[in-house]
């Protein structure tokens, strides 16, 4: 049985817009999968359905044998700590020290801030410190998060997500705000720690070269459907054309150009 099975997943928004149409794929522990597709293809919708921020309108998401689409809000609270999330804009708490930000990754394992605020629990603190060390930011542990550069902030976000000890890590355009060189460095850190911990990682990416450099597998989405699911080496011009081709009949005019050049 696969760690993650997505079966006939569909998402129709309240305004009637169909963002996902019968998406199906499976994924295994430790795999790093890049999800690519033009703007509006449905990449973010897919990740939001997997982490429970959004209820799909049809289909199933089976995580480790558990159909999460059937869960109540209360049950989701337990499930969510198994799913780490990395945002394009980091989502750190600016005025808090770096280490405290990383410690918030442990909140799902505690009774809340009370036990974390004073660092009472040494085991949580040890996990946070170890993960900060893995992204080479331990010397910044006591600095306020807003004093960091973009690349450093994203590495703190990676340390926070890994401190959650998740089964699945989801990243939505994690390097879109960084320059190309920094993008490769941050992606390198993300891929390395995920592989070390055998965490299934799904990453929405706009840059095909970045996907090719770090992913074990690439899933291409166009107009809410999977149109490619294969190795990075199989991503040839025909596949790229299928993924990025502009559909003149579609009402989903792109808001930004695909960046696969
Ligand atoms: N809350 C919403 N209500 C209605 N339509 C929405 C909503 N959120 C997203 N959409 C639409 O669903 C489609 C898929 O959006 P989504 O954000 O998943 O695309 P994406 O592939 O992540 O795009 P991008 O690369 O620009 O981030 C788009 O056409 C978008 O406009
Ligand atoms: Mg998106």
- 218 with 139, same domain: the answer is no
Counted domains in the chain: 2
The closest-lying atom of ligand 1 relative to the alpha carbon of residue 46 is 18
Among 118, 136, 165, the domain boundary falls at 165
- 77 with 173, same domain: the answer is yes
User: How far is Cα 108 from Cα 116, in angstroms, rounded to an integer?
Assistant: 11
Q: What is the pLDDT of residues 57-66, one digit of tens each?
A: 999 999 999 9
97 CA → ligand 2 middle, Å: 29
Among 107, 141, 165, the domain boundary falls at 165
pLDDT at residue 115, as a whole number: 61
**Residues 120-128, mean pLDDT to the nearest whole number:** 86
- 156 with 185, same domain: the answer is no
Answer whether residue 252 shows pLDDT above 60.
no
pLDDT at residue 251, as a whole number: 46
pLDDT at residue 247, as a whole number: 57
Strand partners of residue 11: 20
Ligand nearest to the CA of 253: 1
- For residue 77, name the pLDDT band (cuts at 50, 70, 90): confident
Does any ligand 1 atom lie closer than 6 A to the CB of residue 194?
no
Give nearest CA residue, ligand 1 atom 29: 40
Does any ligand 1 atom lie closer than 6 A to the CB of residue 258?
no
Buried b (16+ CB within 10 A) or exposed e, 169-197: bbbbbbbebbeeebbbebbebbbebbeeb
pTM of the predicted model as reported, rounded to 2 decimal places = 0.92
Does any ligand 1 atom lie closer than 6 A to the CB of residue 224?
no
Domain that holds residue 20: 1-82+168-256
Q: Which residues have a beta carbon within 5 Å of ligand 2, which is an ion?
A: 43-44
224 CA → ligand 1 middle, Å: 10
Rg of the Cα atoms in the chain: 18
- For residue 76, name the pLDDT band (cuts at 50, 70, 90): confident
**Residues 153-167, mean pLDDT to the nearest whole number:** 98
Quickly tell me which residue has 């305004």 as its tokens: 15
What the block records as the tokens of 89 is: 């804009």
- 108 with 161, same domain: the answer is yes
Give nearest CA residue, ligand 1 atom 6: 13
Residue 104 within any structural domain of the chain: yes
- 151 with 252, same domain: the answer is no
């Amino acid at each position: 049985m696969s760690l993650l099975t997505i079966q006939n997943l569909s998402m129709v928004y309240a305004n009637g817009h169909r963002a996902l149409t019968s998406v199906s794929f499976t994924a295994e522990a430790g795999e790093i999968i890049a999800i690519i597709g033009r703007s509006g293809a449905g990449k973010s919708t897919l990740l939001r359905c997997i982490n429970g921020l959004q209820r799909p309108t049809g289909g199933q998401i089976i995580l480790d044998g558990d159909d999460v689409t059937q869960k109540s809000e209360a049950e989701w609270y337990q499930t969510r700590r198994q799913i780490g999330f990395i945002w394009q804009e980091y989502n750190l708490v600016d005025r808090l020290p770096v280490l405290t930000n990383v410690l918030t990754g442990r909140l799902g394992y505690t009774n809340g801030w009370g036990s974390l605020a004073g660092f009472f629990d040494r085991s949580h603190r040890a996990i946070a410190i170890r993960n900060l060390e893995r992204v080479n930011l331990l010397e910044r542990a006591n600095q306020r998060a807003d004093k960091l550069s973009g690349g450093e902030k994203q590495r703190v976000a990676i340390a926070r997500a890994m401190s959650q000890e998740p089964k699945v890590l989801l990243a939505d355009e994690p390097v879109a705000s960084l320059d190309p060189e920094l993008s490769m460095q941050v992606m390198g850190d993300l891929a390395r720690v995920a592989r070390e911990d055998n965490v299934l990682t799904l990453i929405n990416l706009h840059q095909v070269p970045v996907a090719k450099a770090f992913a074990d597998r690439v899933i291409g989405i166009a107009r809410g459907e999977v149109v490619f699911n294969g190795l990075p080496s199989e991503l040839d011009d025909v596949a790229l054309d299928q993924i990025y081709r502009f559909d003149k009949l579609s009402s989903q005019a792109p808001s930004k150009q695909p960046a696969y050049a």
